[in-house]
Each structure stands twice: as structure tokens, then as C-alpha cells.
């Protein structure tokens, strides 16, 4: 009986410690960014984008953005509409994707 109680107590302590040591990951706030490619700069691995306002992240403006994966630059050209994921305190564009024209899906 006492052995079982001890074992349970030990198990509970163990679980508690595991829970404590497991730091909750800091959830970085993310936003969806939309814009039009104005220029592709493969030298500096950046895109000049006329971006829509992203509430809480960036006003509507045209500026240069770094990208998380420079290989995307080869697939982009001026005039392309793109979407990307952006994060608080980070001006880099993540998961850049070419967005089709708004209304008519490429037709």
C-alpha cells in the first residue's frame, strides 16, 4: 500500500516537473500579407512590393522585403500578385505564394 502511494506520488512529481520544464512556445503573431511585385532583385535577394496595409504590422506602401526562401525569386516577375505570411517584429516575407488575379482565376 505505502509502496503504491509512494510510486503514485513519485509519478505525480515527475509529471509536474515535466510540465514545468516544458516552456510554452512563444506564439509569434502572424499576418497574411498581400501585394504586387514591382521588382525582383536577385542580387540582394529581395522583392520590391506594393503591399496592402496589414493592420498591426505595416501600412500600405511600396518597399523592399527580404524573403525566407530566395528560390521563390526565380518564379516571380513584376506584376505578380503575391501573398505571404509575416510575423510581428519581422519584415521578412515567409511562404511567399503567387496569388491568382482576384476575380477571374487566370481565365
Q: Which residues make up the interface to Cu ion (CB under 5 A)?
A: 58, 61, 63
Closer CB to Cu ion, residue 63 or residue 99? 63
CB of 48 to Cu ion, least distance (A): 11
Closest CA to 62 of 50, 52, 80: 50
Closer CB to Cu ion, residue 58 or residue 99? 58
CB of 42 to Cu ion, least distance (A): 21
CB 72 within 8 A of CB 92: no
Closer CB to Cu ion, residue 63 or residue 73? 63
Burial 64-85 (b: 16+ CB within 10 A, else e): ebebeeeebbeebeeebebebe
Strand partners, 96: none
CB of 77 to Cu ion, least distance (A): 22
With CB atoms as reference, the residue minimizing the distance to Cu ion is 63
Amino acid at each position: 500500500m505505502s509502496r503504491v502511494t509512494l510510486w503514485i506520488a513519485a509519478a505525480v512529481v515527475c509529471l509536474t516537473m515535466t510540465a514545468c520544464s516544458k516552456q510554452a512556445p512563444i506564439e509569434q503573431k502572424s499576418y497574411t500579407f498581400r501585394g504586387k511585385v514591382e521588382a525582383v532583385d536577385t542580387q540582394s535577394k529581395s522583392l520590391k512590393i506594393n503591399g496592402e496595409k496589414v493592420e498591426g504590422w505595416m501600412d500600405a506602401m511600396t518597399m523592399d522585403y527580404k524573403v525566407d526562401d530566395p528560390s521563390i525569386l526565380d518564379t516571380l516577375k513584376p506584376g505578380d500578385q503575391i501573398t505571404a505570411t509575416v510575423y510581428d517584429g519581422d519584415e521578412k516575407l515567409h511562404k511567399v505564394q503567387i496569388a491568382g488575379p482576384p476575380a477571374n482565376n487566370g481565365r
